[in-house]
């Protein structure tokens, strides 16, 4: 076996889900498994936690289809707004709930279950409040089944910003519920789940917290990471002056070992893993163990890279062999 190894602790993910659910006071829990469950493997993670959650969220139709093929039966909400008839047909075939963000999108959703996305200030996806009547009219006219309405907190750690968004969203929720009294209203991801109170509404969409990390400005508390990555030693050689990978050695070594992990596995060349530069497929190190742990805490690794835990987790590619434990 030549691959590096990603060890994914399904038990840790389950415990994170259970902990966050304990904060919700009965509100629903939708597990966000987009981007291959943030690098943890969407199909395996979803199958393991399906009994604990009320539904799933994915980014695109293909991700939802993959869950259905894997045997997932609970509701799956596609977060990217519906823009084509092809995606509408796929959503119908795989029984996916689509997102609509305007009247045109609503008309494409005829005969489908859908949630309306409202733009409350993030300015990414969603319709402004002034267009909501037209969206509702289009949905009713084409027979789209409006099951929910949602938005997203873009600065949940800033009280003034989140309060302003919540106020706007409550106005939108009232309008949707006037037409669809049983509509499921949700504005919060992990941050809102940790805030609690009125931010919980009917439920939350939890992503990063499920994998053991907290959003900017929030403590991790009882959350525990679920992913570790190990590089495999392929060769140990007596040192031949004067290189160390793609770089000039800064000293003479007794020996150097080559480890099978590189930037093709999603690791950054800006963060040294051994001696010299990280290569596409390998790095060299004075260490001569069979395996070296190169990733165990996404917050710590992200800080070294100048990024965030979300990107650090999602960057780890399928090129590493995944080993699941519980």
Annotated domain spans of the chain:
10-211, 227-325
Partners of 243 in beta bridges: 248
Distance CA 201, CA 199 (A): 6
3-class secondary structure, 70: coil
186 class by beta-carbon count within 10 Å (0-12 exposed, 13-18 middle, 19+ buried): buried
Phi, psi of 157 (to 5 degrees): -85, -5
CA distances (Å), 137 to each of 82, 142, 151, 177, in order? Answer: 17, 9, 20, 14
Phi, psi of 323 (to 5 degrees): -120, 120
Partners of 324 in beta bridges: 8
Nearest by Cα to 210 from 3, 34, 6, 19: 19
Q: Looking at 2-96, list the stretches that DSSP marks H as alpha helix, in order from N- to C-terminal side.
A: 10-21, 34-39, 42-49, 61-69, 85-93
Per-residue pLDDT of the chain (326 residues; tens, 9 = 90+): 789 999 999 999 999 999 999 999 999 999 999 999 999 999 999 999 999 999 999 999 999 999 999 999 999 999 999 999 999 999 999 999 999 999 999 999 999 999 999 999 999 999 999 999 999 999 999 999 999 999 999 999 999 999 999 999 999 999 999 999 999 999 999 999 999 999 999 999 999 999 999 999 999 999 999 999 999 999 998 887 877 777 777 788 888 899 999 999 999 998 889 888 899 999 999 888 999 999 999 999 999 999 999 999 999 999 999 999 99
3-class secondary structure, 233: strand
Distance CA 209, CA 40 (A): 13
Distance CA 313, CA 323 (A): 16
Q: Looking at residue 182, what is its pLDDT?
A: 97
**Domain covering 227-325 in this structure, CATH number:** 2.40.37.10
Q: Looking at residue 249, what is its pLDDT?
A: 72
Distance CA 106, CA 72 (A): 26
- Is 237 in contact with 323 (CB distance < 8 Å)? no
Q: Looking at residue 241, what is its pLDDT?
A: 80
Partners of 188 in beta bridges: 204
Nearest by Cα to 132 from 111, 103, 152, 110: 103
Could you tell me the fold of the domain covering 10-211?
TIM Barrel (3.20.20)
Phi, psi of 203 (to 5 degrees): 175, 175
Nearest by Cα to 115 from 15, 187, 201, 163: 187
Q: How many CB atoms lie under 10 A from the CB of residue 141?
A: 12
- Is 19 in contact with 55 (CB distance < 8 Å)? no
- Is 234 in contact with 267 (CB distance < 8 Å)? no
Token pair 């966000």 in the structure block, residue? 32
């Amino acid at each position: 076996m030549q691959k590096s190894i990603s060890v994914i602790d399904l038990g840790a993910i389950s415990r994170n889900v259970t902990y966050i659910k304990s904060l919700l006071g009965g509100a629903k829990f939708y597990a966000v498994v987009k981007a291959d469950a943030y690098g943890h493997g969407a199909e395996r993670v979803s199958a393991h936690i399906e009994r604990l959650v009320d539904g799933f969220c994915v980014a695109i139709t293909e991700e939802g289809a993959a869950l259905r093929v894997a045997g997932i039966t609970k509701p799956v909400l596609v977060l990217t707004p519906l823009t084509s008839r092809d995606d509408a047909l796929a959503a119908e075939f795989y029984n996916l709930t689509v997102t609509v963000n305007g009247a045109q999108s609503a008309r494409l959703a005829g005969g489908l279950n859908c949630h309306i996305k409202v733009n409350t200030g993030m300015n990414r996806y969603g319709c402004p409040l002034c267009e909501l009547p037209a969206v509702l009219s289009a949905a009713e006219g084409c027979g789209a089944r409006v099951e929910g309405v949602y938005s997203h907190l873009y600065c949940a750690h800033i009280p003034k910003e989140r309060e302003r968004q919540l106020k706007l969203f409550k106005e939108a929720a009232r309008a949707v519920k006037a037409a669809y009294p049983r509509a499921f209203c949700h504005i919060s991801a992990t941050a809102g789940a940790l805030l609690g109170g009125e931010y919980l509404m009917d439920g939350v969409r939890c992503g990063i917290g499920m994998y053991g990390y907290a959003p900017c400005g929030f403590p991790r508390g009882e959350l525990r990471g679920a992913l570790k990555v190990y590089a495999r030693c392929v060769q140990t050689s007596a040192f031949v002056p004067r290189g160390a990978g793609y770089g000039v050695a800064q000293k003479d070594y007794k020996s150097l070992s080559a480890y099978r992990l590189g930037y093709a596995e999603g690791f950054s060349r800006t963060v040294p893993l051994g001696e010299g530069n990280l290569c596409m497929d390998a790095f060299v190190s004075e260490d001569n163990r069979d395996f070296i742990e190169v990733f165990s805490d996404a917050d710590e690794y992200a800080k070294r890279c100048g990024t965030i835990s979300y990107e650090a987790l999602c960057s780890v590619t399928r090129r590493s062999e995944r080993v699941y434990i519980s």
